[in-house]
Amino acid sequence: MALVFYARVSSKGQNLDRQLARVNEVKADKIFTDKQSGKDLNRPGLERMFEYIREGDIVEVVSLDRLSRDYNDIQHLVQRLKDKKVKLIVDDLPQTNTGNELVDQFMLDMMVNLMGFVAQNERTKILERQRQGIAEAKRKGVYKGRPKKYAAQSKNREGRLVYEKVYDAIMSGNYKSKAQLAREVGLSRQQLYRIINRINDQNK
């Protein structure tokens, strides 16, 4: 049985130190890492981990969003681990590591399902806030319908990935400065601040 640790940050400019500090505590046998958006499942470290693990192994992450930020992708990855008969330990969900395998799996499934409910509820709230904002802007005659390039729902794939990197960094606080973050994702500071303002408005 091997204890395998997986760590991820969203961009090459971010560091893994906070997650990897846990490795020494748990004495992991193997470490796999990625510096890539959690929206993309095509990650070399993640795939190498799945090639490495065997029945009876344990995979540990500091939080579920290190596997992915997308609920459906998390469901998919958790099921892949189940299919390989590999246990998943999530550090910030101690209920998934009680020592009783049946209880641990039940709690993990429940938490993943709860995440799905929360994610769907949050998407509904965001869409409702957007609808209300558009209606108010139209009422004031200031609505501009041109779609934003850097947004979660942008039709521009590169724009979506840039937005996700900024969102991940801002929500986790894992960046040294906004100026450096802007350079890492290839934006001007003005563009970065506009994205951050939208993120803050959506999370009020």
* Mean pLDDT, rounded, for 42-69: 92
Predicted confidence (pLDDT) per residue in 114-130, tens digit = 876 776 677 778 778 87
- How far apart CA 27 and CA 25 sit, in angstroms, is 6
In a 10 Å sphere around its CB, with 0-12 CB exposed, 13-18 middle and 19+ buried, how is residue 8 labelled? buried
Q: Which two tokens stand for residue 182?
A: 């802007």
- Average model confidence (pLDDT) for the chain? 84
Q: According to the 3-state scheme, what is the secondary structure of 133-153?
A: HHHHHHHHCCCCCCCCCCCCC
State the catalytic residues: 10
What's the whole-model pTM score?
0.58
Distance CA 123, CA 129 (A): 10
Helix-helix angle 157-172:178-185, to 10 degrees: 160
Domains of the chain by range and CATH?
A: 3-115 (3.40.50.1390), 146-204 (1.10.10.60)
The per-residue pLDDT for range 66-108, each reduced to its tens digit, is 888 787 888 889 999 999 999 998 888 877 777 788 888 888 8
Task: Report the 10 Å Cβ neighbour count for 51.
Answer: 8
In terms of DSSP H, where are the helices of the chain? 17-26, 44-52, 71-83, 101-140, 157-172, 178-185, 189-202
d(CA 154, CA 151): 5
- pLDDT given for residue 74 in this prediction: 87
How many CA atoms within 13 Å lie on the side-chain side of 172? Answer: 26
* Inter-residue contact 18 to 179 (CB < 8 Å): no
Q: Which has the higher per-residue pLDDT, 29 or 98?
A: 29
Instruction: Find, among 112, 119, 71, 74, the residue nearest to 104 by Cα.
Output: 112
Burial class (CB in 10 A: 0-12, 13-18, 19+), 101: exposed
Q: How confident is the model at residue 60 (pLDDT cuts 50, 70, 90)?
A: very high
